[in-house]
Each structure stands twice: as structure tokens, then as C-alpha cells.
């Protein structure tokens, strides 16, 4: 049955324009489901029942200690897989059709105030001595998060070729939904970009944000920096994340 996984993922990539991270998640979760089906000695995909799928969700929750939101994601993934099998007429009847994904309980996200944003940006000046050489870069990171509403993954993937300083704009390539979008840059951001560019010349890589080894800044380093500045600014206990910056500045 594993051959169905590859064809399903190919379908999601080409027809549904799913992102690489979504494809990765689908591969992992459908693979775990097939492993479970093999343990149940089911060799024909047409013999998988609604009851078996429900039992798998219970098994996944108990064996992996998953929360309800994680189970909801797994249910949605397995339903997508069986919808594909039905559409391709690989299965006669869709056993996942009657299974419903629990409704999400939406939490109001915590958003930083303009005062708090200014506070965390100023905290960069009080970073440990080892971080002083990256002051401009770190202020740029925090300012881009706030003044552009950019997502963390989009920020880390930015290149110098995405920046147009003469027109004060940045292009986000293949953002959410796989579409490019153009965002105007605030004067404070362009000033930091100018200063950061002077510090980086001559450019040895197109990556906008680089780490200690001269390579693109990774998620782990980004999370470390954000937590450090949240602590320095006294905002750590408020539970802010990169998403908390996502509002447009004045």
C-alpha cells in the first residue's frame, strides 16, 4: 500500500500546490497510518473500514500522547488521503467520509503593542558582548517582523535579490498559498537594511540573514535570538512569539 503514498504526495504537490512542509507532514502521518494497517494484517486498501480508521486515531492519541489539535490534523490528513484514493477510483467506498474533523477552538492571539515592539528592539543594545557584532542584523529581524507582517519562515528565506531598496519594497516569493506578494518597507526598515548592507559588503551569499558560520540563519538560531530579546525586554512571561509581531506598524 505504500505505493499509494507517493502518488498521493505527487497529487498534493502538483494539483493542490501543497508546500514542502505540508508534503513532509503528509508523508510522515500517512506512513504511520499504513504501518498501523500493516500491523492489523490488512493488505488491501479496500478492506480498511471506518471503524479501523477510528481505532487508529485512538491508538495514535494514546501511544504518542497527542493533544486534540494534533489529532485533528491527523484526521484531516487521513481524510485527504482517502479522498484522493476515491477520486482516483482506487477504492470502491471511502471509509473516511463519515469521519468529521473536530471544530477548532480559536484562541485570540497575543499581539505586541507598539510600545512593546519598541522596547524589544531597544533591548538589542543590551545584548551580551558576544552578540554585539550582530546588533544591526537583530534589529532588522525584529523590525521586519513588525513592519511587514512577514512570517518566520518567509523571513528566514529572504534573499538580497528580494529587496528593492530604491523602491523601498520586498517581494515574498511563494508565500502562503504559493503566491508572491509585494510589501512596502517602512523607512526604519530601509535604514537598517542600508546599514546592514554596508556591514555585509562584499556579499558572499544572497541570503539576507546569516548566522555565525556565514550561512543562512536557521530556525533554531532565530528562536534563540527571539527568546533572548524577550527576556532582555522583560516580555518573556507574556508568551509572545514571532506571530505576535504580525501587525502593520504606524
Domain residue ranges of the chain, discontinuous segments joined by +:
2-87, 114-245
| In the chain, alpha helices (H) | 2-14, 20-39, 50-64, 68-87, 114-122, 135-148, 152-156, 187-200, 219-232
Cell for 197?
548592507
**pLDDT at residue 248 in the model:** 43
- Give percent of the chain with pLDDT exceeding 90: 73
Residue 250 pLDDT grade (very low, low, confident, very high; cuts 50, 70, 90): very low
Considering only 27-31, 35-39, 168-172, 235-239, which range has the smallest mean pLDDT? 235-239
What's the CATH architecture for 2-87? Orthogonal Bundle (1.10)
β-pair partners for 181 = 172
Tell me the pLDDT tens digit for each residue of 153-197: 999 999 999 999 999 999 998 755 667 889 999 999 999 999 999
Q: Domain 114-245 carries which CATH code? A: 1.10.443.10
Whether residue 249 has pLDDT greater than 90: no
Question: Given this model, what pLDDT does residue 73 score?
Answer: 92
Greater pLDDT, 112 or 138? 138
What's the predicted TM-score (pTM) here?
A: 0.58
Instruction: Look at residue 112 and tell me whether its pLDDT is greater than 50.
Output: yes
Residue 134 CB neighbour total at 10 angstroms: 21
Q: What is the pLDDT of residues 118-132, one digit of tens each?
A: 999 999 999 999 889
Lowest model confidence (mean pLDDT) among 104-108, 197-201, 236-240: 104-108
User: What average pLDDT does the structure give for the chain?
Assistant: 90
pLDDT at 101: 83
What share of the chain in percent tops pLDDT 70? Answer: 94
Mean per-residue pLDDT for 195-209?
95
Asked whether the predicted pLDDT for residue 209 surpasses 90, the reply is: yes
Question: In sequence order, which residues have a C-beta less than 8 Å from that of residue 152 and are 6 or more positions away?
Answer: 145, 219, 222, 242, 243
Amino acid at each position: 500500500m505504500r505505493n499509494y503514498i507517493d502518488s498521493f504526495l505527487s497529487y498534493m504537490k502538483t494539483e493542490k500546490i501543497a508546500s514542502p512542509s505540508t508534503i513532509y507532514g503528509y508523508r510522515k502521518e500517512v506512513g504511520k497510518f499504513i504501518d498501523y494497517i500493516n500491523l492489523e494484517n490488512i493488505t488491501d486498501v479496500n478492506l480498511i473500514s471506518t471503524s479501523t480508521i477510528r481505532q487508529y486515531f485512538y491508538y495514535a492519541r494514546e501511544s504518542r500522547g497527542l493533544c486534540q489539535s494534533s489529532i485533528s490534523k491527523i484526521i484531516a490528513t487521513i481524510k485527504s488521503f482517502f479522498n484522493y484514493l476515491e477520486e482516483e477510483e482506487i477504492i470502491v467506498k471511502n471509509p473516511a467520509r463519515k469521519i468529521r474533523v473536530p471544530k477548532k477552538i480559536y484562541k485570540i492571539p497575543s499581539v505586541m503593542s507598539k510600545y512593546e515592539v519598541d522596547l524589544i528592539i531597544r533591548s538589542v543594545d543590551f545584548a551580551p558582548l558576544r552578540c554585539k557584532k550582530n546588533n544591526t542584523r537583530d534589529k532588522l529581524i525584529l523590525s521586519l517582523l513588525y513592519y511587514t507582517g512577514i512570517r518566520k519562515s518567509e523571513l528566514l528565506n529572504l534573499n538580497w535579490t528580494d529587496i528593492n531598496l530604491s523602491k523601498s519594497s520586498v517581494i515574498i516569493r511563494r508565500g502562503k498559498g504559493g503566491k508572491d506578494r509585494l510589501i512596502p518597507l517602512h523607512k526604519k526598515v530601509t535604514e537598517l537594511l542600508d546599514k546592514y548592507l554596508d556591514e555585509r559588503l562584499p556579499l558572499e551569499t544572497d541570503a539576507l540573514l546569516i548566522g555565525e558560520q556565514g550561512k543562512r540563519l536557521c530556525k533554531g538560531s532565530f528562536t534563540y535570538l527571539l527568546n533572548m530579546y524577550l527576556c532582555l525586554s522583560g516580555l518573556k512571561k507574556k508568551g509572545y512569539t514571532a506571530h505576535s509581531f504580525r501587525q502593520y506598524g504606524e
